[in-house]
Structure 1
């Protein structure tokens, strides 16, 4: 299980996973978000691959010098009960070695992850 940096060849998979986010169901808005990530090196999408080799999650981040802002995170419905979200956050923390913060939509999830990690 691990995170893979987004590549153009993953576009359909990434868009499919992002479409599980209620605000990104509309194709035009989803395309705007994909374009937004493509416009800056500080913004990255990562795909999560499960033990079976399937991409089952996506996380979008904005990297700052002292923290990583998690903007979007989504997991395929079949994997939602398996702690994939927390595994993705664990991997991001290892990758960047910085504090993870969440956008308004993601902040409660980050708080629960931190509580579990520090509990």
Structure 2
């Protein structure tokens, strides 16, 4: 389940973001958190696992009238290889149905794999 960030999730959010190489320093991590909190066009979402009810992922997006730019995405290592990234991106698409989901240099490989997976499913359904 995709849930919006609020102050009560600060430590969890910072912990998940710290898995991203750019945020190994506390200063850079704090700066990124502040950017998401203070900016009207940036949002952090947390991913709650349906089975465990634990928060296991985070995604930071920047949104405009035409696009949702996935700036950061991190998953708890214990939940990687379980398709959590695809689930997060599916929910983002549901939340922003009229907007394109794009990525940065760091996140575009994940977005591309997700889009290809969805395209394969669409082709399978059409056949």
Normalising by structure 1, report the TM-score.
Answer: 0.97
| C-alpha distance in structure 2 between counterparts of 1:118 and 1:14, whole Å | 31
Q: Structure 2, unaligned stretches of length 5 or more?
A: 121-127
**2:79 equivalent in structure 1:** 79
* 1:54-76 residue CA offsets vs partner (Å, 9 max, x unmatched): 00000000011011000000000
Pairs within 5 Å for 1:59-78: 59-78=59-78
What secondary structure sits across from 1:53 in the alignment? coil
* 1:96-117 residue CA offsets vs partner (Å, 9 max, x unmatched): 1111000110011101100000
C-alpha deviation, 1:25, in angstroms? 1.2
Say how many residue pairs are matched. 118
- Give the number of the structure whose alpha-carbon radius of gyration is greater: 2
**1:4 equivalent in structure 2:** 3
Normalising by structure 2, report the TM-score.
Answer: 0.91
| C-alpha distance in structure 2 between counterparts of 1:21 and 1:104, whole Å | 14
What secondary structure sits across from 1:72 in the alignment? strand
What secondary structure sits across from 2:80 in the alignment? helix
Aligned-pair RMSD on alpha carbons? 0.6
